[in-house]
Amino acid sequence: MLSVAISKQSFQILQANSMDRHLTSHFQIPASSFGIFSIGTLIIWVAINDRLIIPQLAKITGKPYGLGLKQHTTLVFSSNTVIY
C-alpha cells in the first residue's frame, strides 16, 4: 500500500514534467508544485459546499444537513462515475 501511495506522487511529478508549464515566456510552474493545485481545489470545494450548497439543500429538503445518507451516497457515487 505504501508503494502505491509513493508511486502516485512520483507519477504526478513525471506527468507534470511532460507538460508545457510556462505561464509566460519567463515563468514556469515547477513540476513538484502541481500537487498543491489539487489540495487548493479541494479546500475551495469544501468551503463552497459547506457555506453555499448544504444550506440551500437544507432549505429545500427541510433536513439540517440537506440530504440523507442514502441520497448523499448516491450523489457522490454518481458524480464520481461521471467524472472518472
- Segments making up each domain of the chain, as ranges: 2-83
Provide the mean pLDDT of the chain: 83
* CB-count burial class (<10 Å; 0-12, 13-18, 19+) for 65: exposed
Q: Supply the pLDDT for residue 33.
A: 85
What is the average pLDDT across 63-83? 82
pTM, two decimal places: 0.60
CB atoms within 10 A of CB 35: 14
pLDDT value of residue 44: 92
Is the pLDDT at 9 greater than 80? The verdict is no
Question: CB within 8 A of 61, min separation 6: which ones?
Answer: 67
User: In the chain, what percentage of residues exceed pLDDT 70?
Assistant: 88
Per the CB < 8 A criterion, the answer to whether 65 and 54 are in contact is yes
Mean pLDDT, residues 70-76: 84
User: What would the mean pLDDT of 34-46 be, rounded to a whole number?
Assistant: 86
